[in-house]
Amino acid sequence: MSSNNDPVIIPMLERKQNDLPGMDASDPNTLTEEAVLSFHNISYQETVRHGFSFCKKTCVIERLSNIKKEEPFEMSSNNDPVIIPMLERKQNDLPGMDASDPNTLTEEAVLSFHNISYQETVRHGFSFCKKTCVIERLSNIKLLDVLAARKDPRGLSGDILINGKPRPANFTCTSGYVPQNDTVMHTVTVRDNIEFSAALRLPMTMTKDEKRRRINEVLELLHLDKESNAQPRSKELRKRTSIAMELVTEHPILFLDDPTTYLDLRTTTDVISGLKMMSRRGRTIIFSIYLPPYSIFRLFDSLTLVASGKVMFHGPAQEALEYFKSAGYNYESHNNFADFFLDIINGGFSALLDTEEDGHDVEKDKELSERQHQVRENLANMYAQSSLYSEMRTDLDLLLVEQKSGRSSALEIMCVTPFWYQLGWIIHRSFKNIKGFPRIIIIKATITAIVAVILGTVFHVLRNDCTAVQRRAALLFLLTSFECITGMTTGELFVIDRDHFLHEHTSGYYRVSSYFLGKLLGELVPRRLLPSIIFTVIVFSITGVITDVKGVFTMIFTIMMLACCTSSVPLSLGAGENAAALPTELITIYFMFMLLISGLSLYSVNLMRDLSWIKSLSIPHYGFIALQHNELVGQNFCPEHKTAEVSGCQNFVM
């Protein structure tokens, strides 16, 4: 429904009377016989609020078409069967590259795999004492990830060939991959995301106009041209943006992990039709998909059904139905092809053979898992004895004959752009990402300024006498505490973007060094160092602690070093964890304990004498000492005393 003026048709299923006993049709509260729902000239007004929290503007929008948008179903189990279509290609559509060379293949890319198995190394336990075990499995991981070299190649046995040759070490950089969970930045626009991919993955020899032309072609292909300047907030828009970021590179092979996730039927048809069009231009399209409708299934050229690590079927997609029907499986004319295939593999009712009617009863007490295992074993054996397998075996043997070199045992990330070019684009995107959270920036700046004003007011105008030395030390300690507390959550900087980094680095966007330095300069500096400098300047301006220019810059430099040191600890722990909760808790315990030790040293020197060795492990201690050295050392706070007469005042000179 797209318009308030469109007629509405609501079919009501026929029901027999008294189907719901105990209810009276004359009483709408206890309705029984028939329920007729009708609506008459309805409209809907939605109140929308936008702007900052304390000054939001309210407007009323009258609409009925955008009330609710249903999300499509998402596959959530690794044990689900995988459908991998390979779309048809034409030769010589991508001239200028040699198909015999896997590093520069273009014309026609034929991917084949032979007797593959996979061993996965699993680590569990605490960060510093994790246990490692090796599990041999292929059914519990995605076959698509193994074919696309998104798994550690050291666990792979068997051969995966491209045009009869082993995959090159940099295969992840010369092929495209769209993960099921999108990895786009939703704080920048659709065009910005695609431009980032084009800038770092297309060769430097391409001009800006050529890159811009290719970006516009991809936007038009996926119907993103009208939404190019919008931020990809919705799941549907993020999915299409993620696909566009891979299409813009025009790699000869493109892998997609369920590209229809979060897409409605119309958008799904547009995306698959676009992929079909690209396959006719010479590109190999391989993707997994869950329960495609017939309008999508009819576009497939080749179909592979995999379950429990074994191939159930591989061949032309349009021959799959006849293959299972000829094997004795019943197909209902109104059933969807994909539902029928998955029902067979999972041991469903449609998988019952006609031979069961001849007296072979199914054991009713048999467990579902055992039944599925038996059905899949039978399907795998049936396919191994079929003519389709014989034809495929002949083609595979020809490819194996052409194989001469060995398989690479390690991934090699090869970037097409230099270090400084990558660094510039990473910093540019980081600043745009920060601009995407204006409310958070304003709130943090406001809180920082308020805390600085309160702290400065408490220590307003410190006097230059011996009675104010203790207050000066307390002020410096609170400043140290503020830097430590605000730096505890810095570990989330890498944890939040972990999936983005793994996908982009593996795909050849940038090197680790450029990403690390770019994140520090683009996000750590504006988010950590600038607020610390502003906080320090406000506090010292109110308290009047330092009056000379040299002392001010020395203090700011010391604060920056303290902020960097306090941030480095959560960053180092957070980089090795998948979640930010554990590193944050450990960092909180560490800093709270070390701040307690530093605070006690202000008032009880004798108490801390036996625990002085702990100070060598304390970042707050070194920062506190550095601030005291800059502020107090060499200062005479009791001018009436001479240097030789220091015993009369303990706070005479530091």
Distance CA 111, CA 164 (A): 8
- pLDDT tens profile 552-569: 888 888 888 888 888 888
Q: What is the pLDDT of residues 259-299, one digit of tens each?
A: 888 888 888 888 888 888 888 888 889 998 888 888 888 89
Query: What pLDDT score does 569 carry?
Result: 81
Predicted confidence band at 91 (pLDDT cuts at 50, 70, 90)? very low
At residue 429, the pLDDT reads 92
SS3 (DSSP) at 486: helix
Q: What is the pLDDT of residue 380?
A: 87
Residues comprising the chain, all counted: 654
Q: Dmax over Cα atoms in the chain, in whole Å?
A: 116
Q: Which stretch of DSSP H or E encloses residue 452?
A: helix 438-458
Contact 483, 565 (CB under 8 A): no
Domain boundaries, the chain: 1-68, 82-175+251-402, 419-632
Q: Give residue 370's pLDDT.
A: 77
What pLDDT does residue 72 have? 33
The structure's pTM equals 0.74
Confidence of residue 589 (pLDDT cuts 50, 70, 90): confident
pLDDT at position 75 over 50: no
E-strand stretches of 111-194? 111-124, 131-136, 156-162, 165-166, 176-178
Element (H, E) at 265: helix 265-279
> Do residues 79 and 139 touch, judged by C-beta distance below 8 A?
yes
Task: Give the Å distances, CA to CA, from 461 to 315, 482, 628.
Answer: 83, 20, 18
Question: Is 197 within 8 Å of 441 (Cβ atoms)?
Answer: no
288 Cβ neighbours under 8 A, 6+ residues apart: 82, 83, 84, 142, 143, 144, 256, 257, 258
**Strands 111-124 and 82-83, sheet pairing:** unpaired
Q: Are 482 and 561 in contact (CB under 8 A)?
A: no
Q: Which of 176, 133, 123 is nearest to 286 (CA)?
A: 176
C-alpha span between 159 and 118 (Å, rounded): 11
The torsion of the CA quartet 441, 444, 446, 450, rounded to 10 degrees, works out to -160
> Rounded distance, CA 121 to CA 134, Å?
5
pLDDT bracket for residue 202 (50, 70, 90): very high
For residues 127 and 40, what is the distance between their CA atoms, to the nearest angstrom?
Answer: 63
Q: Are 163 and 100 in contact (CB under 8 A)?
A: yes
d(CA 324, CA 499): 40
Cα 582 from chain centroid (whole Å)? 19
Question: What value, to the nearest 5°, has the Cα angle with vertex 453 and ends 448 and 454?
Answer: 100
* Burial class of 96 by CB neighbour count within 10 A (0 to 12, 13 to 18, 19+): exposed
Distance between CA atoms of residues 81 and 139, nearest Å:
9
* Helix, coil or strand: residue 496: coil
Single-letter code of the amino acid located at 628: Q
Q: Give the per-residue pLDDT at 92.
A: 36
Q: Which CATH class is domain 82-175+251-402?
A: alpha beta
**Residue 258 DSSP symbol:** -
Helices marked H in 462-580: 469-486, 492-495, 498-506, 512-519, 530-543, 549-574
Token look-up 């097409």 returns 416
- CA-CA distance, 622 to 532, in Å (whole number)? 17
Q: Using CA atoms in the order 428, 434, 438, 443, what is the torsion angle rounded to 10 degrees? A: -140
Task: Give the range among 414-418, 463-467, 485-489, 528-532 with minimum mean pLDDT.
Answer: 463-467
Note the pLDDT tens digit of each residue in 126-172.
555 556 555 555 555 678 888 888 887 777 887 888 887 888 888 88
What tens digit of pLDDT does each residue of 596-619 get?
877 776 666 565 566 677 777 888
The helix (run of H) or strand (run of E) holding residue 315 is strand 310-316
Mean pLDDT of the chain: 75
**Phi, psi torsion values for 227, nearest 5 degrees:** -115, 20
Distance CA 638, CA 641 (A): 6
Mean of pLDDT values over 622-641: 73
268-283: burial string, b at 16+ Cβ within 10 Å, e else: bbbbbebbbebbeebb
pLDDT digit string, tens, across residues 13-62: 444 444 444 445 455 555 555 677 777 777 777 776 655 555 566 766 66
Instruction: Say if residue 358's pLDDT is above 70.
Output: no
Contact of 83 with 304, CB cutoff 8 Å: yes
Rg (CA), the chain: 33
CA atoms within 13 A on the CB side of 270: 17
